[in-house]
Amino acid sequence: MQTEAGTGVLSISVPQLPGRRVRMDGSHEITLEDPSGGRDGVSSEPKETSQDRQTAGEMAVLPERDPLAAAKEKKGAPEGAGADPLLGVLWSPSGMEIPDTLPSTWAARQDTTALRTSLGEDTAGTRLLEGAGPPGPHPALPEPKGTISNPRSGCREQETQERSGEDDGCNGSASLLWAATPGMLFQEDKQTKLHPLSLSWVLGYNSSLAVHSLMDGEDLVLLYVSSHTVVIHDVLGNRQSHLQGHTNVISCLCMSEDRRWVATADRGPDALIIVWDSFSGIPVRTIFESHPEDGVSAIAISQDAKYLATISAGTVQRVCVWKWTSPTEKPVCSTELRPEFGHQDYVIFNPQNPCEFVSNSKTQVIFYLWDDAGLQYGAPLLSSQTFNSVVGHFSQSVFHFNNSQALTGTSAGKLVVWDVVSPRTPSKELQAKPHSVKATKLVPMQKDSLTVLKVFESCIVTGDVKGQVKFYDGQLQLLTCYSHSKVGPIRSISFSKTPPDPPSASPACSTSCIPSSQPFIIRNFILSTSDATVLRVATDRTNFEKVMEEAKKAVNAIACHPRQALVAVGSDCGLLKVWDYQQTKHLVSRIFTEAGIQCLSYDPQGYFLAAGFTDGSVYILDAISLQSSCREFKFSRGPITHISFSHDSEYFATADEKYSVTVYKSVLQNGSRCWEHLAGLRSHYKPIRSILFGVQLDSNEPRLLSLGEDRQLVEYDLNSSSKDHLVVLHRDRIEQMAVPLCLAWYPQLSTESFILTANNCYKMKLYNTTTKMCRKTLLGPTYGSALEKIQILPPTNSTDPQKRYLAYITKDKVGLQILPVDGNPHKSSAFTCHPDGVSDLASSYDGCYVFTVGGNDRTLMKWEVNLNALDAAASLGGEDLIPFYNLLDGGREGEFFRELEDYFYYAQLRSHGIDTLETRQVSTHIPLEEIPSVMRAMGFYPSEEKIEEMINEVKFSEYVDTGEQVTKINLGDFIKLYINHRPAFGLSMKKIQQAFHVLGYDNENGDKVIDRGDLLLLLQCRGEHMTEDELVQCLTTLLGRRPAGGGSEPDTYDPSGAAALTEEEIPAEITAAIFATDILGLPIAEPEEKNRKERYESLIYEDSES
């Protein structure tokens, strides 16, 4: 139920059986993941739930009216036009079907006539003449009432015209695309937030990609990429709209000449190409599996906006041409490039001929020509010997605006001029072959490297590493130059759509080379730099106005003020910013030049802000001015990873990458609070995952805990600690095999107090705060990766105080969980936020917002919380045992459940004695001692420690309230216990192979093997030790050598001959495959072929039949 119209990928919780496809509002189809672990031998490795060949962003804007009903109202529509859901869309006023309609990503949503017309075609698919002007509305489809932007001209608006009553009846037939206008995205009447988390604001952007100007003048609207999201930002109006649909970080984008169509592409698994309408935000076309190997590294759109050229990101790059208005999933033509051409990362069409385009890497420029017969390319040779001059690395290429030449900028500050040997002749057939293009000139332009090369109107424009923008005429004569001392290397230049008013005099540019008798009018433009700064240049005043300045390096630190709507963000470049997240306004910033900021934390009163740095230093800053409140501390030998304050601000503690915890204590200096170093201790031998202050149960004294990947939960005695001596109060190993990843104080929802942890096996555990005994093990969210950080949301005014919620992040997602945790998958929801990894998480003081930062993607995302949507989804998932039945193979009516009932009641018979003749008491419970037997019968084989945890969990479940121990368990509670304790995704062959890789050696065939004697010795000496008798008993059973018999009591065995049995049945060298199949008897779905190395991806978690 919790699909996010904008995240692209979805980790969903819906009341359906695992593996079933659920269609959401007729446009989305999602496949649910089975977190059950599976008993049928087909369980899988953790993986994300996937969506069905359509981007989530396509749900962002829905038609105001039902398209079917609207189609019925078309004037002159044939009788019964609404019988088919698509008929109203595909029927054209002229009475003929559109021969080249868009695919299902747009069908039943939009009127394809509008798109075809806006791209220069009539409704029959005939291309309009170039220069004929924008197409007028079809006579049978009157223009809708109101202020409508012409789709061809982009931003020019038509005056409002009164329509007759006859025309008014046709208004509903106009599609959103036809009626879309610039600024439509920022209308106030936005849809109600229907999802638990909705993206509200994005700070930061990908400075390696271009920033485009959509509108200028009275409005300043920019389009840029932040992680996997396209942001359309109204700078003056302080508003944003987000185009979401990609599941990976966007790797490239391009925009049509009229600024209406935006094409984006990404790299990684399930890479997409999406074409968006920038007016309405609608994704009008999604191309799946365009380059399934590694995604897309470069993309361009033709001048007429009908074609896309893409270049894959693989080692062997593939170049494709797409007619994106065509419903086919295949390109018009394609070809592969040789690896020696280098990585082609830039491509652009010839504005005068859509059948011609050029691409370049740092070392090779390639020219392409295509038609229906295929795609040809030529790679002309150019080296320093060609012109006896240094060429440098290529940056960008363009086609000349008034001749057949092409230009390429280089890092040596030169322009390469390319031309064909024979002149091009306009013909349908390709007369000028691409291999006939040669480098004819190497023109020195300047000393500094050229980073940007554009053709705009009748000028050639360059940008360089010194921040200079230069304009040249067609003969490469300098016209004018714009520069500023504080502008960094230029990444992109985007010109305003409308020219400024003609100046009364020449532009006041000191570096201008324009004769005063010939005034040169240049449109205002937007500059983006490689150091994440965006500037607006007013050419009439040569004014450089800074629009945005974001982090230049990874953003890893975030903290929310405990009492105000403030969020602090720190980056590796030393930039610390504080934002008012209600007004989305930057308040104050400070740059630390010595080191990068790794973590941040406000004190509970909100007076101070602590910052930990990559060089091990710690600063205590005033929360408002960001000025240092006391001297810098530097007692850590490695980068600071965590900072936390005690509830009374008497202490704060840090953890660093050298596995040490350092504590600081509050003191008064000159009447003001400050802190001094108390002590430090290397308390872990693996990375520290969390440090946490709490409050003693019997006093108001603070307590401090740290949790490491070494599975140690360490509690410190602050009262007994002294200068340079940090005392450890308790040290508890809380996991046997899993690795704990995060830690939090569980809200007081019952009489007993708990600590909550989450581990890398998708389990959440509750530990008693005093005894550290594991009281509950619960199935956590299973959305592709384990929980990395958790944070309890503050109670909101509108929620029940006893109903609390938890926010969490995984490797690439942010989510919410309803408390108390019980293993119900419908009580959690997750959304992709930073595909390349989430670094940190914070929640607002009122619990209304959650913030995430993405590390290397240099973005912060603000998510609006809607708890009602999460509660509704949980309610739809069912109550009591219904959600847990659905996690069993086959559900409540399946064979697995019936088998479980049989084993459950057989366990009752065993507890009373199988052969007894006494009257039996039928019960719905079994003794706790039978839990391990039933678990193993169902295909789950827990360790002895796990068995003890399960029995203690049930035994002491009512002890705090009643003072009595529970001695039996019913079927419903057993099912919950089974679901929560079994492996979330079963046992994989990959894990067995990893064990053999660590413990084994390479034999003569190159396979990882373990010697038979070593294996038997490991089983008796490592892990949970097995005695010799226990080992013999197990091997006798596994190898099928137990005596057959009709007795129903546990089998007996004869230990004599065990040594001969092992030598006979177990080979001297054991591989992972032999161990799994021949010894354990677990079938593998995809058995390896002989003489090949083991590569098992299928899982072998088996059901009880095996």
Q: Is the pLDDT of residue 829 over 60?
A: yes
321 beta partners = 309, 333
CA 1024 to chain centre: 39
The Cα 188–Cα 964 span in angstroms is 59
Q: Which residue has the higher pLDDT, 129 or 1019?
A: 1019
Q: Average pLDDT of 838-844?
A: 96
What is the tens place of the pLDDT at every residue in 83-110?
A: 333 223 323 333 333 233 333 333 333 3
Q: Average pLDDT of 252-257?
A: 95
Q: Average pLDDT of 609-638?
A: 94
Q: Model-level pTM?
A: 0.81
Q: Is the pLDDT of residue 1023 over 50?
A: yes
Q: What's the confidence (pLDDT) of residue 517?
A: 41
Q: What's the confidence (pLDDT) of residue 906?
A: 87
The Cα 791–Cα 504 span in angstroms is 61
Q: What's the confidence (pLDDT) of residue 71?
A: 35
DSSP string covering 522-568, please? Answer: ---EEEEETTSEEEEEETTTTEEEEEEE--SS-EEEEEE-SSSSEEE
Q: Is the pLDDT of residue 20 over 60?
A: no
Any idea what DSSP says for residue 919? P
Q: Average pLDDT of 341-365?
A: 95
Helices 1028-1038 and 1058-1065: angle between axes, nearest 10 degrees:
50
816 beta partners = 807, 829
Q: What's the confidence (pLDDT) of residue 1056?
A: 59
pLDDT band at residue 1037 under the 50/70/90 scheme? confident
Torsion of CA 957, 961, 964, 965, to 10 degrees: 0
Q: What's the confidence (pLDDT) of residue 677?
A: 95
Q: Is the pLDDT of residue 1007 over 80?
A: yes
Torsion angles phi and psi, residue 68, rounded to 5: -70, -45
pLDDT band at residue 137 under the 50/70/90 scheme? very low
Place of tokens 């604001």: 201
Q: Average pLDDT of 841-852?
A: 95
pLDDT band at residue 502 under the 50/70/90 scheme? low
Give yes or no for a contact between 8 and 245, defined as CB atoms under 8 angstroms apart: yes
Non-local (6+) Cβ contacts of 151 within 8 A are: 114, 117, 118, 134, 177, 178, 180, 260
DSSP string covering 609-676, please? Answer: EEEEETTS-EEEEETTT--BSSPPB---SS-EEEEEE-TTSSEEEEEETTS-EEEEEEEEETTEEEEE
Q: Is the pLDDT of residue 975 over 70?
A: yes
Q: What's the confidence (pLDDT) of residue 520?
A: 61
Q: Which residue has the higher pLDDT, 547 or 428?
A: 547
Percent of the chain with pLDDT over 70: 75
Percent of the chain with pLDDT over 90: 57
* Other Cβ atoms within 10 Å of 481 Cβ, number: 18
What is the tens place of the pLDDT at every residue in 699-748?
A: 899 999 999 999 999 999 999 999 999 999 999 999 999 999 999 999 99
Q: Average pLDDT of 281-288?
A: 93
Q: Average pLDDT of 598-607?
A: 96
Q: Which residue has the higher pLDDT, 171 or 340?
A: 340
Torsion angles phi and psi, residue 147, rounded to 5: -85, 110
What is the tens place of the pLDDT at every residue in 193-215?
A: 789 999 999 999 999 999 999 98
What phi-psi label fits residue 659: left (phi over 0), alpha (psi between -120 and 50 degrees) or beta? left
Q: Average pLDDT of 678-686?
A: 96
pLDDT band at residue 1102 under the 50/70/90 scheme? very low
Torsion angles phi and psi, residue 502, rounded to 5: -60, 130
Q: Is the pLDDT of residue 813 over 50?
A: yes
Q: Average pLDDT of 369-379?
A: 91
Q: Average pLDDT of 422-451?
A: 75
User: Which of these, 366, 364, 441, 429, lies nearest to 403 by C-alpha position?
Assistant: 441
Q: Average pLDDT of 482-504?
A: 82
Q: What's the confidence (pLDDT) of residue 797?
A: 67
DSSP string covering 749-768, please? Answer: -SSS-EEEEEETTSEEEEEE
Ranges 482-486, 520-524, 531-535, 604-608: which has the least confidence: 520-524
Q: What's the confidence (pLDDT) of residue 539?
A: 81
User: Which of these, 515, 652, 434, 536, lies nearest to 219 by C-alpha position?
Assistant: 536
What is the tens place of the pLDDT at every residue in 522-575?
A: 888 999 999 999 999 988 777 889 999 999 999 999 999 999 999 999 999 999
Give yes or no for a contact between 323 and 306, defined as CB atoms under 8 angstroms apart: yes
The Cα 808–Cα 811 span in angstroms is 10
pLDDT band at residue 697 under the 50/70/90 scheme? confident
Non-local (6+) Cβ contacts of 1040 within 8 A are: none
Torsion of CA 689, 762, 848, 653, to 10 degrees: -10
Whole-number mean pLDDT of the chain? 80
Ranges 103-117, 586-600, 1037-1051: which has the least confidence: 103-117
Q: Average pLDDT of 453-460?
A: 92
pLDDT band at residue 799 under the 50/70/90 scheme? low
Q: Which residue has the higher pLDDT, 960 or 99?
A: 960
What is the tens place of the pLDDT at every residue in 4-17?
A: 433 433 333 333 33
Of the spans 77-81, 644-648, 1050-1054, which averages the highest pLDDT?
644-648
Ranges 418-432, 477-491, 508-522: which has the least confidence: 508-522
Q: What's the confidence (pLDDT) of residue 19?
A: 36
What is the tens place of the pLDDT at every residue in 878-912?
A: 999 999 999 999 999 999 999 999 998 888 888 77
Ranges 122-126, 722-726, 1023-1027: which has the least confidence: 122-126
Of the spans 276-280, 520-524, 936-940, which averages the highest pLDDT?
276-280
Give yes or no for a contact between 712 and 731, defined as CB atoms under 8 angstroms apart: yes
What is the tens place of the pLDDT at every residue in 142-164?
A: 333 332 233 333 333 333 333 33
Q: What's the confidence (pLDDT) of residue 828?
A: 96
Q: What's the confidence (pLDDT) of residue 587?
A: 95
pLDDT band at residue 31 under the 50/70/90 scheme? very low
Q: Which residue has the higher pLDDT, 534 or 56?
A: 534
The Cα 786–Cα 764 span in angstroms is 10
Please give the angle made by the CA atoms of 1063, 1066 and 1068, to the nearest 5 degrees: 75
